[in-house]
Chains A and B, each alone.
Chain A
């Protein structure tokens, strides 16, 4: 774990466990990573897939506060996501997460931020789903968009030459 390269995202989904764990190391101090992560003004810049516009309906960054984000296709449907901040403390966020397109299926997300020293920070996002089917279904439904996303990125790269 200590030799993780910055910029690489690792995703772990153990068979038989209804959770997914995402880790990523950033070349930035922990205060800044946490601040950026919890800044409502910056959410539209990174939270959703690039092809959708993301707006923050509400985001009360404190324990007991609630949040709701909306994603829109250029000329089409909206997708809402919401939850409450069960806990926001320095370097740890605990929150249920619900996609309004599949109501009633709620995942519990825990985000932690570890100081690795030398101005590096490890983000770990752990999502626990209500069932194995939820976990597997959540990702299966993201498959098509995942594929499209990568095409967008290739296009981006080509445009930058």
Chain B
């Protein structure tokens, strides 16, 4: 469930053009396919393909307007991915904090009774 969602999110993010599209939507709020395609040296069809991947991953939503179908960013999957990473970081932080404590204890002990 969450796993699939994460994999889909990460797969969608694993492309520089798609990340650039998301960055643009984050800044601009809303944009049409033509507007999004403008800065890229690739075809409209290629951009449409990227948008489909992003839409399937739930990272963008597209308007109902049949002609323009403007795209908007949906940050929810990104938040889940960020939370995933943060949980992992916290677990490691905790483990390495304890390791660090051990190191400091050993160093103190050595200072007190140099062999």
Chain A residues near B (Cβ < 8 Å): 7-11, 13, 15-17, 20, 22, 24, 26-28, 32-33, 36-37, 42, 45-50, 123, 132-133, 136-137, 139-140, 142-143, 145-147, 149-150, 153
Contact = CB atoms under 8 A, between A and B. Distances in A.
A149 B90 CA distance: 8
Contacts, number: 104
Contact of A32 (B10, B83, B103): B103
B87 to A, nearest CB: 4
Interface of B: 2-3, 6-7, 10-15, 19, 83-85, 87-104, 106-107
A3 B19 CA distance: 28
Contact of A16 (B3, B10, B90, B93): B10
Contacts of A137: 3
B13 A16 contact: yes
Contacts of A140: 2-3, 6, 84
A24 B92 CA distance: 10
B4 to A, nearest CB: 8
A17 B7 CA distance: 11
